[in-house]
Amino acid sequence: MLDYMQFVLAPQMLNGFAFGIAIVLMALGLTIIFGLLDVINMSHGEFFAIGAYAGVVLLASGVNFWVAVALVPLLMLPVGVLTERLLVRQVFDSADRHTLTLLLTLGLSMIFYDGLKMVFGPNPLRPDNPIPGGIEVAGVFLPAYRMFLIFLGAAIIAAVWAIIYKTSLGAMIRAAAFDRNMASSLGVPVSAVYSATFAFGTALAGLAGILLAPIFSVFPTMGHEFIVIAFTVVIVGGMGSIKGAVLAGLLLTQVQAIASLIISPVWTDPILFGIMVLVLMFRPQGLFGRLGHG
């Protein structure tokens, strides 16, 4: 029994945790863009993929991994700004802009996906693990890179949360999200705030892309493969809630880890979905409501 706890359950939960942080990192950009701009960004997965491919290209051209980690989010900023200015903004005044932006970004994701495949080919790529090896604690093996991810991820999440809830910049962003005209009349440069927010969400996706590339590999369909779980996390947590995304991300990956152990991995997806349905039944707005509602 103790053996089981030590060699099976504990590593399982730890792995679940590392994976959870990874997913939260991805969900973070998604939830911010929704919470602040009211846009379901279906191309978020492709932004994630673009980040990963950008990383692969940088590494292949001899850039150091850590430099690439710093560069990729910066490279993603213009992608985000352009997407917001050229596309999302076009339908922003429409009454059903929820639907329209969803469909718009869906279309964009198709183009990005196909474009990535055209440029990089359909085969998977993978950058080398920058910190191979690991440490063994009480018979449990902890890969170094995953430990690093846990800490970096947690730091990023905390920083994002603080910016949005604890700074006046955050209040400005949230105000612009709720009422464009009024915020603008109070002097908030709404148009710039929107672009910046979208770009920020995009940069987060790209960052997640390169950070996860050594573990999960890089391939054209990676975007929509990861987006499903990211959406589940965001829905359960409450669209637009950072707290919710973190909690749901960690919770769901733990459930997944443990369910795959004691039931069967086959059932993990239906179980996650079942949780999503249950949460929505009792709290249609997710565990936590929209950004800003606490």
Partner 1 sequence: MLEIRDLHSHYGFSHVLQGVNLTLRPGECVGLFGRNGVGKTTTMRAIAGWIKQISGSITYNGQEIGGLASNAICRLGIGFVPEDRRIFPGLTVEENLKLGLMQTAGRSGAQEAAALERAYDLFPRLKQRYRQMGTTLSGGEQQMLAIARVLVGDQKLLLIDEPTEGLAPQIVDEIFAIMRKLKSEGHAILLVEQNVKRALDITDRICAMERGRIILEGDGNSQADRDALMKAIAV
Partner 2 sequence: QDIKVGALPPFTGPFASIGQVIKVALDMRAAEINAAGGIMGRKVVLVYEDGESNPATATQRAEKLFQVDKVDFLTGTVHSGLTLAVGQVAERNNRLLATTVSFSNAITGDRCSPNVFRVNPSAGMQASALALWAADFKKGAKVYYLGPDYEMGRSTIAEFKKEAEKLGATTAGEVYAPLGAKDYSQFFGQMRAARPDVLYMSTGGTDSVRLLSQLKEYGLTNMKLIGNSAAVTSDNLDAMGNAAEGFITSGNYSTLIDTPANKVFAEKFKAAAKIEANLYAADTYTVLDFYKAAVEKAGSVDADKVRAAMRGLAWDGVAGKKVMRAGDHQAIQDMYALELKGKTYHPLAKVDGEKAAGPDLCTKW
Partner 3 sequence: MADDGSVTTSAPRSAGATAAVRAYAQERIEWRALNIASIVFFAGAVAFGVAYGLKGDTFYLRLATEALIFGAVALSVDILLGFAGLLSLGQALYFGLGAYAGALVLKQVSESFWLVMGVSILVGVLSGLIGGLIAIRARGVYFALITYGLAQIVAKVIYNTRELGASDGITGIPIVNVSFGFWQTKADNPAGFFFVVLAVIAIIYLGLLYLSGTPFGRALSGVRINENRMPFLGYRPDRLKLAAFVLASTIASIAGGLYPMLRGFVSPELMYFDASTNAIVATMIGGTGTLIGPLYGSVILVFLKSMIGTITTHQIMVIGALFMIVVIFFPRGLLGYLREIVVARSRTKDGGGP
Residue ranges in contact with partner 2 by CB under 8 A: 3-4, 7-12, 15-16, 18-19, 114, 117, 121-126, 128-129, 132-134, 141, 143, 145-146, 214-222, 225-226, 229, 256-257, 260-261, 264-266, 268-269
For the chain, what is the radius of gyration of the CA atoms? 19
Q: Which of 185, 225, 228, 265 binds partner 1 (CB under 8 A)?
A: 185
d(CA 136, CA 44) in angstroms, rounded, equals 36
Q: Nearer Cβ to partner 3, position 98 or 180?
A: 98
d(CA 236, CA 231) in angstroms, rounded, equals 8
Under the criterion CB under 8 A, does residue 174 sit at the interface with partner 1? yes
Under the criterion CB under 8 A, does residue 111 sit at the interface with partner 3? yes
d(CA 140, CA 231) in angstroms, rounded, equals 31
Under the criterion CB under 8 A, does residue 264 sit at the interface with partner 3? no
Q: Which does 134 bind (CB under 5 to 8 A by kind): partner 3, partner 1, partner 2, none?
A: partner 2
Q: How far is the CB of 66 from partner 2 (least distance, A)?
A: 18
The residues pairing with 143 across neighbouring beta strands, listed in sequence order, are 134
d(CA 151, CA 148) in angstroms, rounded, equals 5
Q: Which of 228, 263, 264, 265 binds partner 3 (CB under 8 A)?
A: 228
Handedness of CA 48, 53, 57, 59 (dihedral sign): positive
d(CA 211, CA 213) in angstroms, rounded, equals 6
Under the criterion CB under 8 A, does residue 288 sit at the interface with partner 1? no
Q: Nearer Cβ to partner 3, position 66 or 282?
A: 282
d(CA 218, CA 122) in angstroms, rounded, equals 10
Q: Which does 231 bind (CB under 5 to 8 A by kind): partner 1, partner 2, partner 3, none?
A: partner 3
Under the criterion CB under 8 A, does residue 181 sit at the interface with partner 1? yes
d(CA 35, CA 33) in angstroms, rounded, equals 6
Cβ 72 vs Cβ 206: under 8 Å: yes
Q: How far is the CB of 61 from partner 3 (least distance, A)?
A: 26
d(CA 260, CA 232) in angstroms, rounded, equals 17
Under the criterion CB under 8 A, does residue 188 sit at the interface with partner 1? yes
d(CA 66, CA 60) in angstroms, rounded, equals 13
Under the criterion CB under 8 A, does residue 20 sit at the interface with partner 3? no
Binding site for partner 1 (CB under 8 A): 168, 171-172, 174-175, 177-179, 181-191, 290-294
